[in-house]
Amino acid sequence: MKGNIAAIVLVVLGAFFLLTNLGIIDISLREVLRVWWPVALIALGVALFLTPGDKRK
């Protein structure tokens, strides 16, 4: 699952940078990160919650 998420992140970032370089979108990555950085914390928390841990009984 972790490999799939990393691949999706790379594809999305690559597409974002390509569209920015082609002039199709005009969004500053700095502004996006400045506003939406808490979403990364939420995603990390959900990922940690959903990953299987040590299941000792």
User: What does the pLDDT read at residue 31?
Assistant: 87
Give the whole-angstrom CA distance, residue 57 versus residue 43: 29
For 7-36, the pLDDT digits (tens) are 888 898 899 889 989 999 998 888 888 898
Domain boundaries, the chain: 2-50
* The pLDDT of residue 39 is above 70: yes
* The pLDDT of residue 50 is above 90: no
Pairwise pLDDT comparison (39 vs 48), residue with the higher score: 39
Give the whole-angstrom CA distance, residue 33 versus residue 2: 22
- Rounded average pLDDT over 35-57: 80
Amino acid in the structure at residue 57: K
Give 1's contacts (C-beta < 8 A, 6+ positions apart).
Answer: 51
Q: Which of 42, 41, 17 lies closest to 28 in space, CA to CA?
A: 17
